[in-house]
Amino acid sequence: MSVPDAMRASLAALDPLSIEIHDDSAKHAGHEGARGGGGHFRLSIVSPRFAGCKTMERHRLVYDALGPLMKREIHALSIIAKTPDEH
């Protein structure tokens, strides 16, 4: 399974209405994290679970959902997390 597919599967726990994942790893070739196998990704996710949460709380929900992927497969992650009303 590709890393983006594994990310989507893990993020399903947040009941997302939409997920967009962009792999920017090629732009960071030679970077320390890239040499260790971790990729650089941009994530845009819309979920009703973010309602009432501040930005840091939303990011924590994402990091918690991604769990073990954050230890090896993902070196850097840029997150845009919105509620359906903000989308």
Tell me the pLDDT tens digit for each residue of 5-56.
999 999 999 999 999 999 988 775 665 545 556 788 999 999 999 999 999 9
Q: Does residue 77 carry a pLDDT above 60?
A: yes
Amino acid at 39: G
Q: Which domain holds residue 55?
A: 3-82
Tokens standing for residue 72: 């090896």
In a domain, residue 11? The reply is yes
> What distance in Å separates the CA atoms of residue 66 and residue 11, rounded to the nearest whole number?
7
Report pLDDT for 31.
57
Q: What Cα–Cα distance (Å) separates residue 6 from each residue in 2, 9, 76?
A: 6, 5, 15
pLDDT of residue 57: 98
pLDDT at residue 81 tops 90: yes
CATH number of the domain enclosing 51: 3.30.300.90
- For residue 41, tell me if it sits in a domain: yes
pTM summary value: 0.87
When divided into structural domains, the chain yields a total of 1
pLDDT at residue 59 is higher than 60: yes
Q: Is residue 87 situated within a structural domain?
A: no
